[in-house]
Amino acid sequence: MASNIMGSSIAGSHSRNELHFCHDSNEENGGDYNERQWHSSDRAFSSSGSVAGKDFEGGKEFNANTEWTEREEKWELNRENRGDAKVDKVGEDEYLLSEARQPLWRIVPIPSSLINPYRIVIVLRLIILIFFIHFRILTPVNDALALWLLSVICEIWFSLFWVLEQFPKWFPIIHETYLDRLSIRFEREGEPNLLAPVDVFVSTADPLKEPPITTANAVLSVLSVDYPVEKINCYVSDDSASLLLFDTLSETSEFARQWVPFCKKYNIEPRAPEFYFSQKVDPLKDMVQPTFVKERRSMKREYEEFKVKLNALVAKAQKKPQEGWIMQDGTPWPGNNTNDHPGMIQIYLGSAGALDVESEQLPRLVYVSREKRPGYQDHTKAGAMNALVRVSAVLTNAPFVMNIDCDHYINNSKAIREAMCFFMDSQLRKELGFVQFPQRFDGIVGNDRYATHDVVFYDINMKGLNGIQGPVYVGTGCVFNRQALYGYDLQVCNEGPRMTRGDSENSMSEKKSARGFFSGLHTSKKKKMEKGSRSKFDHQEIEEELEEYDDLEKSSLISDKSFVKQFGQSPLFIASTLMEDGGLLEGVNTQLLIKEAIHVINCGYEQKTKWGKEIGWIYGSVTEDILTGFKMHCRGWKSIYCMPKRAAFKGYAPRNLADRLHQLLKRALGSTEILLSGNCPLWYGYSGNLKWLERLAYTNTIISPFTSIPLVAYCAIPAVCLLTGKFIIPIVSNVASILLMALLISIILTSILELRWSGVGIQDWWRYEQIWVIGGVSSHLFAVFLGLIKLVAGLDSNQAIMANAADNNELGQFKWTTILIPPTTLVILNIVGIVAGISDAINNGYASWGPFFGKLFLAIWVIMHLHPFLKGLMEKGKQNRTPTIIVLWSILLASVFSLIWIRIDPFLPKQIGPILKQCGVQC
């Protein structure tokens, strides 16, 4: 924990207020902030890298460090037996050299015996579907024309939606990594470690809604990751400027001094203490050190004390003093007004004096709270992430960036190494934008009633995209190439990336000129250092260097408007964007770095720039992850789906039906916003490098919420048929029977073969189908309604519904309980229809039972899909009690709807011609 606090007032055109920066007492007089510079790509990315798309053949595969250790022991034994250690050493070196030249990863295609039958059935199903739609259109039901037309429209929509969802799964593949080869190539004994530095972003919004203990566990899992400590930098974004999170990180940094060496000494998994100590496994399994039991018991006590301290901080934060929060040194907390406060940065760990209990260095831990002022848009999470991109570029500038949400943690300590197997491949890195890991969850209720795991999406859809241009970005558990975040288009040639589309033709030459300027600045600085001159430079020195150029040359350098429009007015930040392999300028003054870091997070920095439009996380949707990944793919960047055997990341699962619907609502609203914006995949990016199947996948994602409209209609049709005695299909002929049977069989075969090649269980698949219907008739329908209101009336309803579910963990306290009414109404309506249909069939005799079974099948289909929702509504307990108003409204709507159809019955044929009636003797 930092020992003293320094405040300084910074003047400038933008609002730069007091900076609160904490540093260690050993770091006085503005000590050198630079770390050991990461070596250039010529050395790190050697020519022995893998070749994309080729399977690895030959060479024994290493599954763990244990096997590698066993081989070393055998070599030693062989040398002793032969007495020729020198010769054997040469053979060993040759073997290591040969192993280091092997690929770091390989593609594992799905076996043809599994995937080819699947593709054949998909094509057959498409053909059958075309014939079925043709039959439905040409055989209208004359006595229920409106009902028939509605059902045909719904079926056509479902068919198109199926095509969009199915064909991006045509080329599913899996990637496999070789971590031992990564170590052999870049971590040779006696040589500098050549693994690339990584900046890790942890984003938070409100510590009262996102418990501090979860954020602490996420941070601890990052600090203890299996990676060189000098190459890991953890940045925590506090978007609420909360003293609670500030103090939480202070306590976390103290606990990390004990936790990190404990994790690395005994190689424990996972390295988030809350989940490690709650595991229902034998902690002594595979442990051989006799001191482990004692140290584990001691560490568990320390963690319990750590949790007590955090609980005390939370209890204290529940009630804010009238005069505002006061820091430990007695100064007022700058973030007392959440929406009006200066930017704040504090470094807890990573300096020379911040060592663990073993006197070893710890990764850098940085607290960041960007400036907020009234009248400036903050763009919620996307804006916070972009602020972290700029701060990290100024302070550390690692070439790769990883982000996780505060409610996730690193479950596999080698997760970053998994990503580096792809990024540090000399050929693949030129075109790789990001590596996405699947999301896995803890705390699933029962048998995953609400399909929280999303295994169909993560284990089927994402594998399919992995064989095209790569998976979509899902918002967390992702490692980025920093150059891809800067909005550069992909250019495979050696000239490197170019500026985004829409720039002038001279952008490339401008970039080269700027690189030349900073290269000259490096050279000049080295000469001054060799002569004993001062070893640091600041803005004034940069201006002095610029004076050596004439006005024409200056216009193409860092002060040129094209760079300012791209990245904003920060020479140091722009310099960092031109360093493709990361690293900082040599000899930069610590105070200059901190001042520049504060400058790049002020509230007006992004104005008149391309931040959020083409650079960084993209604005315009609550699901900024979809837009960000989509823009990267449009520029030609590829992504890779990495699925290690041990899940790389895990998070907290939605706790109940309310939380799950809230999650679905947020995703659906974001997709709706994208569809109604200028970034829609239907019309954006055709001049880029987005592949057609990848575009189909993005299109499927953004139109998915609109499937809710035909889905609600189709779920109501069975009840209408049972109440009116009509049906959507005419008298079944032989042709119709064959088509129906063929379609049903193709649907079953497609599902079975898909489950075979993906490894997904039948129960997980069925839960996914159920939640697709439940979410479609509730959250998705509501999201479409809100999206259309926003488009037509310009009203932004995001803040009204995007409140964290932690505020509304009781279903009865939801502000938007109206989304529960449609599915409840459909359940009641179909139950009423079944009762009415059975009664009508009994009264009309055996002749009516045939058509009745078809209607009954559809009604039962609806109820079976809505069963988890119905069960969730019927749960007992205070937190799961169903609001009475929902039940009353649903029964009222179902009753009114039923009475209208029975009384009016618009599907009865109308009498044409004169009205005939009995006239008796008057005729």
Q: Which of 581, 625, 659, 764 is catalytic?
A: 625
**What are the residues whose beta carbons fall under 8 Å from the beta carbon of 861, sequence distance 6 or more?**
718
Name the phi and psi angles at 488, rounded to 5.
-80, 140
DSSP result, 665-700: HHHHHHHHHHHTSTT-TTTS-TTTT--HHHHHHHHH
d(CA 521, CA 526): 9
d(CA 739, CA 110): 31
d(CA 665, CA 653): 16
**What are the residues whose beta carbons fall under 8 Å from the beta carbon of 826, sequence distance 6 or more?**
712, 715, 716, 719, 777, 862, 866
239: Cα within 13 Å, side-chain hemisphere? 22
Q: Are 125 and 747 a contacting pair, CB within 8 Å?
A: yes
Question: 3-class DSSP state for residue 192?
Answer: coil
d(CA 729, CA 137): 11
- The DSSP letter of residue 460 is I
Q: Are 497 and 515 a contacting pair, CB within 8 Å?
A: no
625 is catalytic: yes
d(CA 27, CA 350): 11
Residue carrying the six token digits 């609203």: 669
Residue 342: cis peptide before it, omega within 30 degrees of 0 = no
143 is catalytic: no
615: Cα within 13 Å, side-chain hemisphere? 23
CB-based burial, 414-437: b 16+ in 10 Å, e otherwise: bbbbbbbbbbbbbbbbbbbbbbbb
DSSP result, 396-418: T--SEEEEEETTEEESSTTHHHH
- The pair of structure tokens assigned to 2 is 């930092």
**What are the residues whose beta carbons fall under 8 Å from the beta carbon of 399, sequence distance 6 or more?**
38, 196, 197, 481, 482, 483, 580, 581, 582
* The pairing of beta strand 364-369 with beta strand 232-238: parallel
Q: Which of 180, 199, 239, 659 is catalytic?
A: 239
Q: Quick count: other Cβ atoms within 10 Å of Cβ 96?
A: 13
d(CA 440, CA 91): 44
Q: Are 631 and 679 a contacting pair, CB within 8 Å?
A: yes
β-partners of residue 361 are 355
Active site residues: 239, 625
